[in-house]
Amino acid sequence: QKEVEQDPGPLSVPEGAIVSLNCTYSNSAFQYFMWYRQYSRKGPELLMYTYSSGNKEDGRFTAQVDKSSKYISLFIRDSQPSDSATYLCAMSADQGAQKLVFGQGTRLTINP
Amino acid sequence: DAGVTQSPTHLIKTRGQQVTLRCSPKSGHDTVSWYQQALGQGPQFIFQYYEEEERQRGNFPDRFSGHQFPNYSSELNVNALLLGDSALYLCASNPGQGTEAFFGQGTRLTVV
């Protein structure tokens, strides 16, 4: 069993839709949670960072962490074609970005 | 402000050869991590360098080695290349105890 599970998709939604992306994990020691966006043939770009449980909002993006269920989510409101990319969840048990453990990534397409 | 820079961008090597990849961290960052990303997969942690020492290592063989220089830049060396080493190699940097890791564009290595 992988430490971090993420549905690879692909996920295709119309422009303007609310997108929900999710990851589950098995290691209860994880306490730092991140979402990255990766365009084709590019490096991952940090979108959201959350420590422990709770919600964090940044513009059209909202990250949620439920440590009791070992479940994290990323919501994208008013989705745009430019949001089309692969979204990766990542998590770590330690400060200093030590050993980030990534999900497989979900490929998202926003259709105009 | 320059972000994380990696060189070269692309590389083709023959099985059995050795390769060196280079990374310059984001300004103000002193910690560098290396990841391997196979096609369609999330990045896998190789190792992290802090204060010129390997701080943590993932599940990779000794053929993978690294170095960090006094200016915080880093190299990843892979010996005795295998076809399975073909992947996107990503470098990430963060400030010592900061958990937000920023990635470079990656080096795409093809082993033939």
Mean pLDDT of chain B, nearest integer:
94
Yes or no: say if B20 and B77 are a contact pair by the CB < 8 Å rule: yes
Pull the structure tokens for residue B86.
């073909």
- Nearest Cα neighbor of A35 from A24, A26, A44 is A44
DSSP letter (8 states) at residue B83: G
A16, with CB counted inside 10 A (0-12, 13-18, 19+), is exposed
**Interface size between A and B, measured as CB pairs under 8 A:** 80
Instruction: Inspect the interface and report whether the beta carbons of A97 and B42 lie closer than 8 Å.
Output: no
Query: What's the Rg (C-alpha) of chain B?
Result: 13
Report the residue count for chain B. Answer: 112
What is the mean pLDDT of the segment spanning B46-74? Answer: 95
The alpha carbon of residue A34 is apart from the nearest alpha carbon of chain B, in Å, by 8
Q: Which range has the worst mean pLDDT, A107-111, B51-55, B69-73? A: B51-55
Q: How is A40-104 classified by DSSP, letter by letter?
A: TTS--EEEEEEESSEEEEETTEEEEEETTTTEEEEEESS--GGG-EEEEEEEESSSTTTT-EE--
pLDDT at A96 over 80: no
- pLDDT by residue (tens digit) across A64-73? 999 999 999 9
What is the average per-residue pLDDT within B104-109? 97
Question: Stretch B19-23: mean pLDDT, rounded?
Answer: 98
Contacts of A97 in chain B (CB under 8 A): 31, 33, 48, 92, 94, 98-101
What is the pLDDT confidence band of residue A75, given thresholds at 50, 70 and 90? very high
Question: Is pLDDT above 70 for B1?
Answer: no
- Contact between chains at B42 and A92 (C-beta distance less than 8 A): no
Q: Give the model's pLDDT for residue A1.
A: 77
What's the pLDDT score for residue A95? 76
Check residue B96 and give its pLDDT. 74
A11-66 pLDDT, tens digit each = 999 999 999 999 999 999 999 999 999 999 899 999 999 988 889 999 999 999 99
Q: What is the pLDDT of residue A21?
A: 97
What confidence score (pLDDT) does residue A98 get?
Answer: 78
CB contact under 8 Å between A34 and B100, yes or no, is yes
pLDDT value of position A43: 94
**What dihedral angle (degrees, nearest 10) is formed by the CA atoms of A76, A41, B29, B3?**
-90
- Residue A54 has what pLDDT? 87
User: From CA A66, how far away is CA A72, in angstroms rounded?
Assistant: 6
